[in-house]
Structure 1
Amino acid sequence: MINEVPTSRKAVAITFDDGPNPIYTPQVLEIFSEAAGKATFFMIGEQMKKNPEMVKQVAALGHEIGNHTFTHPKLSQLSNIECLEEIEQNEELIEELTGRKPVVFRPPYLDYNQGTFSLLEQKGYPMIGALNLEAKDWEQPGVSHILEKSRDGIKNGSILIFHDGYGDRSQTIEAVRMLVSELTSQGYQLVTVSELLKLA
């Protein structure tokens, strides 16, 4: 699981899981457009089917779309065949909507076993984690908690996790807005996960 990339460049990759979402994804796009930065969206197939235009817009703006499975299951509880189906069904949908195959993968709930890992290796997917798991933005613990615990994970090459899908994500949006502003004023570049991996 890759949580950070060793690099001397002041660059971080901010990622968003479980979208796209018609309310929150556009707000994320706006924050990154104002900061002239790029983000990575680990999207779920079921959500992409509901919001195909949103997927196309994210890709058209130069952000990265990563594979986050089709239905967001715990992969360690699936057979290898079911696991592969989840990954490939989502991969095909992303390619169909954006014209590009995803090249990075994040397992739902960051849950995996040896079988999942071998499968991803065969498919050539790096498995992406994050350094700010303590922020737990998915539990809506408050803007200041999300912000504070995410700051702890900031250094050259950090990967950070947030959520733009499922439930009320207004705390996340608020925290990310403040964090992005802090990072850009400190001279950090906001890059996609693929761009960050190339800096290693």
Structure 2
Amino acid sequence: MINEVSTSQKAVAITFDDGPNPIYTPEVLDIFAKAEGKATFFMIGEQMERYPEIVKEVAEQGHEIGNHTFSHPKLSELSPADCLSEIERNEEIIQELTGQLPVVFRPPYLDYNNDTISILKDKGYPMIGALNMEAQDWEQPGVEHILSASKKCVRNGSILIFHDGFGDRSQTIQAVKKLVFELKSEGYQLLTVSELLNLD
């Protein structure tokens, strides 16, 4: 599980899970457009089928779309065949909507086992985690908690996790807005996960 990249460059990758969402994903796009940065969206296949236009918009704006499975199961509870199917169904949708195959993967709930690892190895996917798990933005713990817990994890090569899907994500949006502009003012580049991996 890759939570950060070793680099001397002032660069971080901010990621969003469980979208696309018709309210919050466009708000994230707006924040990153103003900051002239890029983000990575680990999207769920079922959501992409519901909101294909948002998927296309994300890709057109130069952000990365990562594989987050088709239906967001705990992969350690699936057979290897079902696990592979979850990953490949998601790939097909991303390729169909954007013309590109995803090249990074994040397991739902960051849950995996040895079967998952070998499937991802065969597929050539790096498994992407994050440093700021204590922010727990999915629990809606308050804007200040999300922001302060995430800022503690910022250094060259950090990967940060947030959510733009499932439930009310307004706290996340407010926290990310503040974080993004603070990082920009401190001279950090906002890169996609793939761009960050290439710095290693």
The alignment's TM-score, normalised by the length of structure 2, stands at: 1.00
Aligned equivalent of 1:72: 72
Aligned equivalent of 2:139: 139
Show the 5 A alignment for 1:107-118.
107-118=107-118
Aligned equivalent of 2:47: 47
Shift of 1:52: 0.1
Aligned residues: 200
> CA-to-partner distance for each residue in 1:113-153, whole Å, 9 max, x for gaps?
01000100000000000000000000000000000100011
> CA-to-partner distance for each residue in 1:11-66, whole Å, 9 max, x for gaps?
00000000000000000000000000000000000000000000000000000000
The answer to whether structure 1 residue 38 and structure 2 residue 51 are counterparts is no
Aligned equivalent of 2:98: 98
* Superposition CA RMSD, Å: 0.2
Query: Which blocks of at least 5 consecutive residues in structure 2 are unaligned?
Result: none
Aligned equivalent of 1:178: 178
* Partner Cα separation in structure 1 for residue 23 and residue 183 of structure 2: 24
The residue type paired with residue 114 of structure 2 is: Q
Aligned equivalent of 1:18: 18
The residue type paired with residue 113 of structure 1 is: N
Aligned equivalent of 2:161: 161
The residue type paired with residue 58 of structure 1 is: V
Shift of 1:189: 0.1
Segments of 4+ moved more than 3 angstroms = none
The alignment's TM-score, normalised by the length of structure 1, stands at: 1.00
Aligned equivalent of 2:148: 148
Aligned equivalent of 2:193: 193
The residue type paired with residue 157 of structure 1 is: G
Tell me the percent identity.
75
The residue type paired with residue 154 of structure 2 is: I
* Partner Cα separation in structure 2 for residue 102 and residue 198 of structure 1: 15
Query: Which blocks of at least 5 consecutive residues in structure 1 are unaligned?
Result: none
